Amino acid sequence: MRLRLSLVTICLLFVTFAIGQNKLPNVALKSLNSKTVNIANYNNSSKPVIVSFWATWCGPCIKELEAIKSRYAQWQKDYGVELVAISIDDSKTISRVKPMVTSKGWKYEVLLDTNQELKRALNVVNVPYTMILYKGKVMFTHSNYTPGIENKIEQELNKISKK
Amino acid sequence: MKKIILSATLLTSSFFYAQVRVGIESNNQYYLDDDKIKIEENEAEDRFRSNTYIKVDYFKNKWEFGTQIESYYPKAIINYSPDLQDANIGTIYARYNDIDNGINITLGHFYEQFGSGLILRSWEDRALGINNALFGVNAKLRLTKNLDLTALTGKQRIGMGFDLSESYVMGSNLEFNAADALKFENIDFRFGASYVGRLDEHKETGYAGVNDLISAFSGRFNLGIGGFNFGTEYVHKQKDIVIANEDYVDGTFLDGNALLVNLGYNKGNFGSSVNLRRMENMSFYSERKLAGNQYNKSIINYIPALTKQYDFSLQNIYVYQAQGGINWFEKRNGEIGGQYDFYYDFVEGTALGGKYGTHLAVNGSYWGGLKSTYDFANNKLEDEFLKLGEKYYSDIAVEIRKNWTSNFQTITMYMNQYYNAPVLEGKFDEVKTDIVSVEGLYNFSETSSVRLQLQNMWASADKGDWGAALLEFVPNTMFSIYVTDMYNYGNTHPESRIHYYSVGGSFSKGATRIAVNYGRQRGGLMCVGGVCRYVPESNGFTLNLTTNF
């Protein structure tokens, strides 16, 4: 009995930990037009969601978001994907976020993580840090920028679309 | 029976959403001396240094529990605060977070920011060795749909997790979304107000007139209509005894204030922003005597230098640090100035945009001291409101990013700088620089590329001219290797001309990244977000690991 009980406990622990392992936590962030968004709402999306941590001072981040820009319209059409760009700029650089996003014509949903609440909750250390979520599960993670990563992301989106 | 229990287990656990998250970061350094660079003798006993952070958080329904274990063993990397030693709890908390009803209460260590942080910000920056989390209670409540209240109190972390300040920090913050309350569509109109107090009952009997409680108040608003946005924030800090060289200046009291104005216009391919700021005696510490300490301990508020955070290495040799505090002996108080940024995108298919587009960024800044007069008879320092005193820093930079073909892009940048090294670093001469940087990135195939960076800096004084080069090869999305050198070829002392070379590589897969590096590191200020830490020159191996699951 004791064995069975501990077995069940272990199962319970394991299952409890495993389920929802990848879900986005409840963290409220402000969008560029000051609307409050709970990032966990993206867990309910039936389409793939790309979450990309970036900053205006991060050269590789800008390269990554620029590389995705030229593909984005097509990805939205083909996979229904939405890209959520989480800026970790703090008050030193935050006033550059809007000018940069506007002038570069990024059509992403930009959210501000000014005091790194979401970054901390997801244990993100360096930017860029990019995840693809599908129905609340992380399907793909990349923890720095390497040129051509947009091709890899497209492959992953393609894989997901066949599921 | 077993099956039933198992399926019941499965069902209940999927019903109750729960998860554990673990994040690990480990930065390791092995210092080696060579003919030019040696670490100080008192540091040389421990050549291997390691800073490791293990963070575990448990989420279940509306509850969150977590801790961060930190280890600085055998010792912290050189020039981190000596308070950071051995392995211990860094932070620990329990939180009830009912986001739908707007209730978020934390017990234990927490991070918080009011407004832009000018009045209060607690945060973590491991690269700088900053963790000024507060340990106490933080309650965030949504009073109505448009009105949010935060109330907090606690002691501040100044060393390891339970090395706390003697004083209590308490604060409250109100945020009101007026646009939403008034049902303004497409208009951003918000107000905020904050209070922060520091209660330090640690009596200083030798000095008259020192208050136990020092309070600061702030108010702010933001307005955005169409492409325009305007925001301002004002902070007033109560009169407090002046600190100089970690000691009280008897009978000398000053209040502090800060005024920040942000303007922006963004439309189409054009983006712009202007920030203006004036500050007087705005450094605010949870322990008075830690004012100006080199490890950034016990900071209550965040006073970043409002200058651009540049990308290229030579652009980061003369970095401005905000002069928000007071230097009583030199009779300097605060700073005044501003910065501007313009962005313009020449789209694909236009004359300047070419086939693949061109992006232009122009920015600059000017910072100086306040114009002050000192009244010897009454031991008083008076600052004029809008007059500029001595110039501390200025810069202007132009950056052009261009995609030439579908697989070749460049970044070209010119920057001009003025750096008042006598005031900012106590050196002899002020420094004027011109810096030219170019970078080319060529993609061989879908995921392999090579990147070359070349830079030169002409500097009028200090260590003179510098050159730098970097070559990086990325064979696929997992690996990257690089080699780099910075050479101080213009140093007037030929024996001090040093090559800061290094080679390294990184491997990343999923959320894991491992980076190794061998070579020399230039000494000087290492700055993140306008807060800086002094790092000594060194030579050796580094190994950095980050992962989460």
Q: Residue B262: its chain A contacts at CB < 8 A? A: 95
Residue pair B433/B318 in contact (Cβ under 8 Å)? The answer is yes
Reported confidence tier of residue B284, pLDDT bands at 50, 70, 90 = very high
B66: part of which helix (H) or strand (E)?
Answer: strand B63-72
Instruction: Say how far residue A7 (Cα) sits from the centre of its chain.
Output: 36
The sign of the CA dihedral B123, B125, B126, B132 is: negative
Answer whether CATH 3.30.750.24 is correct for domain A23-161.
Answer: no
Domains of chain B: 18-304 (2.40.160), 305-528 (no CATH)
| pLDDT, mean of residues B240-261 | 91
| Rounded Cα gap, residues A144 and A125, in angstroms | 10
| Exposure string for B271-295, b = 16+ CB within 10 A, e = fewer | bbbebbbbbbbbbbbbbbebbeeeb
Nearest Cα of chain B lies from the Cα of A30 at a distance, in angstroms, of 12
Weakest-pLDDT range from A15-19, A109-113, A124-128, B499-503: A15-19
A38 phi, psi to nearest 5 deg: -85, 115
Q: What would the 3-class secondary structure string for A41-66 be?
A: HHHHCCCCEEEEEECCCCHHHHHHHH
What value does the mean pLDDT take over residues B264-292?
Answer: 94
Q: Which residue of A has its CA nearest to B477?
A: A146
Instruction: Write out chain A residues lying below 8 Å of B341, CB-based.
Output: 95-96, 99
Both tokens assigned to A120: 């901390």
Q: What is the pLDDT of residues B431-471, one digit of tens each?
A: 999 999 999 999 999 889 999 999 999 999 999 999 999 99
The DSSP code for A162 is T
* C-alpha span between B345 and B354 (Å, rounded): 11
Residue B135 CA to residue B132 CA, distance in Å, equals 9
Complex ipTM: 0.93
Q: How far apart are CA B322 and CA B296, in angstroms?
A: 13
Give B383-405 pLDDT, tens digit per residue. Answer: 899 899 999 999 999 999 999 99
Q: What is the rounded average pLDDT of the residues B21-28? A: 96
CA separation for the pair B371, B465 (Å, rounded): 33
- Rounded Cα distance, A135 and A123, in Å: 21
* Predicted local confidence at residue B204, as pLDDT: 67
For B512, the closest chain A residue by CA position comes to A143
| Amino acid A2: pLDDT | 54
Mean of pLDDT over chain B: 92
A 125-144 near B (Cβ less than 8 A): 125-126, 129, 141-144
| A123 to B5: CB separation less than 8 angstroms, yes or no | no
Collect all residues of chain A within an 8 Å Cβ-Cβ radius of residue B438: none
What is the residue-wise DSSP string for B515-531?
EEEEEEE--EEEEETTE
Closest CA to B222 of B231, B214, B213: B231
Q: List, for residues B293-314, the tens digit of each pLDDT value.
A: 989 999 999 999 999 999 899 9
Q: Which among A91, A96, A121 has CB closest to B304?
A: A91
Instruction: Report the alpha-carbon angle B349-B351-B355, nearest 5.
Output: 35
Strand ranges inside B350-498, DSSP E: 358-375, 380-405, 408-419, 431-443, 449-459, 466-474, 479-487
CA Rg, chain B, in Å?
26
- Indicate the pLDDT class of residue B1, thresholds 50, 70 and 90: low
Closest residue in chain B to residue A126, using alpha carbons only: B546
Q: Give residue B15's pLDDT.
A: 47
A96 CB neighbours in chain B (<8 A) are: 273, 308, 341
Q: Which two tokens stand for residue B143?
A: 């009073």
Res A99 pLDDT > 80: yes
Q: How far apart are the first and last CA of chain A?
A: 41
| E strand map for A1-151 | 28-31, 36-38, 49-54, 82-87, 109-112, 129-134, 137-142
CB pair distance less than 8 Å for A103 and B446: no
Strands B408-419 and A36-38: unpaired
Q: Which residues of chain B have a CB within 8 Å of the CB of A107?
A: none
CA B390 to chain A, closest CA, distance in angstroms equals 23
Per-residue pLDDT for A14 more than 60? no
> Distance between CA A62 and CA A69 in Å, rounded?
10
Contacts of B22 in chain A (CB under 8 A): 123
Taking the Cβ of residue A92 and every Cβ of chain B, the question of whether any pair is shorter than 8 Å is answered with yes
**Interface contact flag, B513 A126, Cβ < 8 Å:** yes
Q: Are B525 and B533 in contact (CB under 8 A)?
A: yes
Q: Does A40 touch chain B (CB under 8 A)?
A: yes
- Would the pLDDT of B352 be above 80? yes
Q: How far apart are alpha carbons A12 and B13 in whole angstroms? A: 7
For residue A6, the model assigns a pLDDT of 55
Confidence of residue B349 (pLDDT cuts 50, 70, 90): confident
